[in-house]
Amino acid sequence: MDLFQLFNPEPMQNGEAMSPDAQDSRGPPGDEENQGAVPSEPPLPQEPPPCPRPKLVFHAQLAHGSPTGRIHGFTNVRELYAKIAEVFDVSASEILFCTLNSHKVDMQKLLGGQIGLEDFIFAHVRGETKEVEVIKTEDALGLTITDNGAGYAFIKRIKEGSTIDRIKTVCVGDHIEAINDQSIVGCRHYEVAKMLKEQPRGTPFTLRLVEPKKAFDMIGQRTRAPKSSEGKMVSGKETLRLRSKGSATLEEIPSEFEDKAIKKVDDLLESYMGIRDLELATTIVEAGRNKKNPDDFAEALDSVLGDFGFPDVFLFDVWGAMGDVKNGRI
Q: What does the alpha-carbon distance between residue 256 and residue 243 come to, in Å, rounded to a whole number?
A: 21
Give the mean pLDDT per block of 10 residues along the chain (330 residues): 44 45 46 51 60 73 94 90 96 95 91 85 96 91 90 93 93 96 93 92 94 66 35 49 65 77 89 84 87 88 80 88 82
Cβ proximity of 154 and 96 under 8 Å:
yes
Residues whose CB is less than 8 angstroms from the CB of residue 63 and which lie 6 or more positions away in sequence, other chains included: 99, 103, 104, 105, 122, 123, 124, 125, 212, 213, 215
pLDDT for 26: 47
pLDDT on residue 13: 45
Task: Return the exposure string of 242-277: e unless at least 16 CB atoms fall within 10 Å of the residue's CB, then b.
Answer: bbbeeebeeeeebeeebebbbebbbebbbeebbbbb
Please provide residue 323's backbone torsions phi and psi, each rounded to the nearest 5 degrees.
-65, -40
* The predicted structure's pLDDT at residue 30: 45
**The pLDDT of residue 257:** 81
pLDDT at residue number 328: 79
